[in-house]
Structure 1
Amino acid sequence: METVAVFVYIFLFLSTLLSCYPFVRKRRREAKRVSKLPPGSMGWPYVGETLQMYSQDPNVFFAAKEKRYGEIFKSRILGYPSVMLASPEAAKFVLVTHAHLFKPTYPRGKEKMIGPSALFFHQGHYHTHLRKLVKISLAPQTIKKLIPDIEAIAISSLESWVANNGQVINTYNEMKKFSFDVGILSIFGHLDGSHREKLKKNYLTVNKGYNSFPTNIPGTAYHKALLARKRLSKIVSEIICQRKEKRIVEKDLLGYLLNFKDEKGQILTEDQIADNIIGVLFAAQDTTASVLTWILKYLQDNQKLLEAVKAEQKVIYESYTAGGKRSLTWADTKNMPLTYRLILESLRMASIISFTFREAVVDVEYKGYLIPKGWKVMPLFRNIHHNPEFFSDPKKFDPSRFEVAPKPNTFMPFGNGVHTCPGNELSKLEILILIHHLLTNFRWEVVGSQSGIQYGPFPVPQQGLPARFWKESKSSTSTKPD
């Protein structure tokens, strides 16, 4: 009987094993499939394909990769193994539906330059709290009160461009000054001139070193930037001390940061406040300045569109000046449909933010491919914005395409998901205001043939779009210099 029992047990064991075999084979096939990396080339050891990417237009590099390998491919960029994703579904997967699997990340040298506590380096409760504060300070009900001050900055900027009769200016550099002043206004309100100038001087030094090679050797741009970054923290600390001494309560970003307490009663340290202020300045300046520069380039290249946008702005100008007003209102800025579509198409065409960096916090499977833990993940916004499947004739500049809303996840000029740029409304508002005053009171001409693109790191027209500006008289007769 014992022998029979043994045979019965063996039979049952083998039967169970055989019945499980198809399932085991399936799991093995799945494991084998999941372990498959996306197609692509990793290039040279450590540097990977960084040189290939930056020795040409990066957008050509990514477009060629997508054409060869498809919407998901691998490479090694800036020393990091990376997976590039070039479809709306993939961007949504990384930035929205599975955002918890991918943390925001930047090269270490850049994180150090901005500050480790800046909100866009974080996830979780800290990020949620900080993002809420920034969003409140830059919400429509807040920034609409800034319109007169933004107008004053815009008019002052335009006047300075025509002050030296006929002098050629670097449009991009001047737009950076304009957007920096608007950023200071949104963060600090009406800041005294001494602190404003010290902030500007040291921020420019930091900005120059931000994209330099991160070597901390005295005399290098990076080393100078690190020293200037320390001075920026000290200046912010002085401003905070001044506010506390005078018991100043302002509803600007600094005010919201100073008054914050979490559910445990914890407040933000001065280092955390400084990191987030500098982070907002970085996010606000170069991108907005790039878009404004491209708008002038696109209008210069399309005189029919320029006249149409100018006509729209003239109607608004005449409506509020006829009523005795001397400035724009929030309602006026919402009554510029063609100008708004011009901005959207400029954002699509130029794709200032060509991609964003994330890092897989665990092994992730996407469409049968493995994205290993620790690898960088880069949704390619420009590839999506220039895909003819979503935007017909994508190389043609055509604001009318935005008369119909684009398909979901195909247009992401400010990112997507919980890390969408919280300052996008302020950026669009300052662009509308400057364009309004430029087209109603000033004129410009681009000097030379500017057909190329330069990267620093954001794409701008060659040489920053050299141009001359002049003021137009009230009789509509140009005062253009000879």
Structure 2
Amino acid sequence: MEISLLLSTGFLHGISSLFHLISSLVSFLWLCLLPRGHPKDTPLPPGSMGWPYIGETLKLYTENPNTFFSNRQKGYGDIFKTHILGCPCIMISSPEAAKIVLVSQANLFKPTYPPSKEKMIGPEAIFFHQGEYHSRLKRLVQSSFLPAALRGSVSEIEKIVLRILPSWEDTTINTLKEMKKYAFDVAMLSAFGGGSDLEIQGIKQLYHSLEKGYNSMPFNLPGTPFRKAMTARKLLNETLRKVIEKRRQSEKQSGGLLGVLLGSKDQKLNHLSDSQVADNIIGVIFAAHDTTASVLTWILKYLHDNPEVLEAVTSEQEKIRQQIIEDDRELTWDDTRKMALTSRVIQETLRTASILSFTFREAVQDVELQGYLIPKGWKVLPLFRSIHHCADFFPQPEKFDPSRFEVPPRPNTYMPFGNGVHSCPGSELAKLEMLILLHHLTTVYRWKVEGDEDGIQYGPFPVPKRGLPLKIKRKAQEENLKSGLKISSG
């Protein structure tokens, strides 16, 4: 995570005692200001609020998330309090509590992010709402990502894959960076369709500036990543408005989510406003970009480290490729439905890596949960990572074992895309772009991790160190022909 006002280690040690004293005072004041009317024996969950304002943000985004969560679970149990990104929070790590917050009593916990996140994505994005407006938006977004809509995207996504793979040949790539490029291209395709407006080309650079400050501390000071990101967000909004205006004036509003949003009318025949359209386009790009790239990076890491799984996946994909060649056609949606083992590899990667460690909710009123008080306005974070790594639900949780998904997991124990009405509507698109890339990568190429450094970096999503440097080589022609495959030039 980028923090522009980092303090020296010595200085931190020198003032840590003072910070903890102030933190205790702040926590005491919070307790004094809690809403009245609750029984005196309904306590806040146990836990530490960390330093004033900063709370435990630095620890959360720089430690191994497994360590951060497990240490607090051992000390406080499955529900505990903390303070991150300027917000008092309650973290929960049991399937039963997660179901209450996300499904059965979801009306008591509205979707939310810290104010800095809302400012960067846009306050009218689908993530920050519930009720009628959210339902309308979700129907529109889902209509772009249902199988019927995605069927027509297979060919376009495959073109992106065949364009980028040759550029990786005989070189060492930073896997995370390359996967971000790929996921961004797919996200732009899903958001704007196949258009090539000059304004759309300019969105990429602005988005990257915004992305750099997304997980920084919200210090709105000159030179900070947050200030630079907010400047980029303003320019991005202006650029999107130009695209929206041009599409509105066009008889054909083109494809992608943008076309769906622009063509939508409510019961009173009102269109979405420009700001509503812009915020939701940016939101979809955020949701479809970084997380997908991180998952793809881990997939290649796990396949590299588990050669027997890689061999089985390759065999599955070669059979499909052989049929495509015999039929003299391109990859289709129906082909991707035959990738059972590859799909289980994706499922296991989503569990093991748990890119989304948690999600944000906010209590809309004082709520009692499992004997503890959650005050109105406090953030509530179901910890997907902790649930995914619980041995009670997934034996030997640290082991990469796709076969565990031959049997459906217990309800509410596997939530890589969230749960309930606010679960990710783009999950099928994410899986599809992973399957298409893996199809071509496993049938035509080999890869090897460069260097012997192992480990994880956090920024903020956990990814292999140094972005997983890979040496990509095209398989020998004889090897491909032996399998009945043609080597595509892309």
1:125 maps to what in 2?
132
When structure 1 is superposed on structure 2, of 47-56 and 451-460 the one drifting more is 47-56
1:301 maps to what in 2?
305
Deviation at 1:310, TM superposition (A): 0.4
What amino acid maps onto 1:257 in structure 2?
L
1:19 maps to what in 2?
none
**Aligned partner of 2:50 among 23, 43, 47:** 43
Pair 1:227–1:49, CA change in 2 (3 A): closer
Q: How is 1:264-343 mapped onto 2 (pairs within 5 angstroms)?
A: 264-325=268-329, 327-343=330-346
8 Å Cα contact 1:137/1:251 also seen in 2? no
**Aligned partner of 1:179 among 171, 176, 183:** 183
**Aligned partner of 2:402 among 394, 399, 402:** 399
What amino acid maps onto 1:457 in structure 2?
P
When structure 1 is superposed on structure 2, of 99-108 and 273-282 the one drifting more is 99-108
In the aligned structure 2, how far is the partner of 1:151 from the partner of 1:473?
22
CA deviations 1:228-257 (Å, max 9, x no partner) are: 222222222222232233311434211111
Pair 1:82–1:245, CA change in 2 (3 A): closer
When structure 1 is superposed on structure 2, of 277-286 and 246-255 the one drifting more is 246-255
In the aligned structure 1, how far is the partner of 2:52 from the partner of 2:334?
56
What amino acid maps onto 2:40 in structure 1?
K
When structure 1 is superposed on structure 2, of 307-316 and 40-49 the one drifting more is 40-49
1:426 maps to what in 2?
429
Partner SS, residue 421 of structure 1:
coil
In the aligned structure 2, how far is the partner of 1:227 from the partner of 1:80?
24
Aligned alpha-carbon RMSD (Å): 1.8
1:344 maps to what in 2?
347
8 Å Cα contact 1:49/1:75 also seen in 2? yes
Partner SS, residue 370 of structure 1:
strand
2:166 maps to what in 1?
159
8 Å Cα contact 2:83/2:89 also seen in 1? yes
Deviation at 1:328, TM superposition (A): 1.0
2:385 is the alignment partner of 1:382: yes
When structure 1 is superposed on structure 2, of 311-320 and 100-109 the one drifting more is 100-109
8 Å Cα contact 2:62/2:458 also seen in 1? no
In the aligned structure 1, how far is the partner of 2:214 from the partner of 2:265?
32
In the aligned structure 2, how far is the partner of 1:124 from the partner of 1:344?
31
**Aligned partner of 1:111 among 95, 99, 118:** 118
8 Å Cα contact 1:206/1:225 also seen in 2? yes
8 Å Cα contact 1:257/1:268 also seen in 2? yes
8 Å Cα contact 2:362/2:377 also seen in 1? yes
1:203 maps to what in 2?
207
2:447 is the alignment partner of 1:444: yes
**Aligned partner of 1:228 among 225, 232, 237:** 232
**Aligned partner of 1:356 among 356, 359, 365:** 359
Pair 1:58–1:310, CA change in 2 (3 A): same
8 Å Cα contact 2:87/2:114 also seen in 1? no
2:76 maps to what in 1?
69
What amino acid maps onto 2:352 in structure 1?
M
In the aligned structure 1, how far is the partner of 2:234 from the partner of 2:88?
32
2:99 is the alignment partner of 1:101: no
Deviation at 1:59, TM superposition (A): 2.2
Pair 1:212–1:245, CA change in 2 (3 A): same
CA deviations 1:71-93 (Å, max 9, x no partner) are: 11112223322111101011100
8 Å Cα contact 2:96/2:412 also seen in 1? yes
Q: Tell me which structure has the larger Cα radius of gyration.
A: 1
Partner SS, residue 224 of structure 1:
helix
8 Å Cα contact 1:188/1:254 also seen in 2? yes
1:137 maps to what in 2?
144
Deviation at 1:211, TM superposition (A): 1.8
Instruction: Mark the runs of 5 or more structure 2 residues left unpaired by the alignment.
Output: 1-37, 482-486
In the aligned structure 2, how far is the partner of 1:458 from the partner of 1:236?
27
CA deviations 1:188-242 (Å, max 9, x no partner) are: 1112163342111111111112122323334333222222222222222222232
What amino acid maps onto 1:39 in structure 2?
P
In the aligned structure 1, how far is the partner of 2:65 from the partner of 2:146?
34
What amino acid maps onto 2:199 in structure 1?
H
Matched positions, count: 446
Deviation at 1:303, TM superposition (A): 0.8
Instruction: Mark the runs of 5 or more structure 1 residues left unpaired by the alignment.
Output: 1-29
Partner SS, residue 40 of structure 2:
helix
1:7 maps to what in 2?
none
1:260 maps to what in 2?
264
What amino acid maps onto 1:391 in structure 2?
F
When structure 1 is superposed on structure 2, of 356-365 and 396-405 the one drifting more is 356-365
CA deviations 1:240-298 (Å, max 9, x no partner) are: 23223331143421111111121223221111111000000000000100000000000
In the aligned structure 2, how far is the partner of 1:48 from the partner of 1:207?
23
CA deviations 1:134-193 (Å, max 9, x no partner) are: 00011110011010110000111111222xxx3322100110110111111111111216
CA deviations 1:407-460 (Å, max 9, x no partner) are: 000000000011100000000000000000000111211111242111111111
| TM norm structure 1 | 0.89
Partner SS, residue 378 of structure 1:
strand
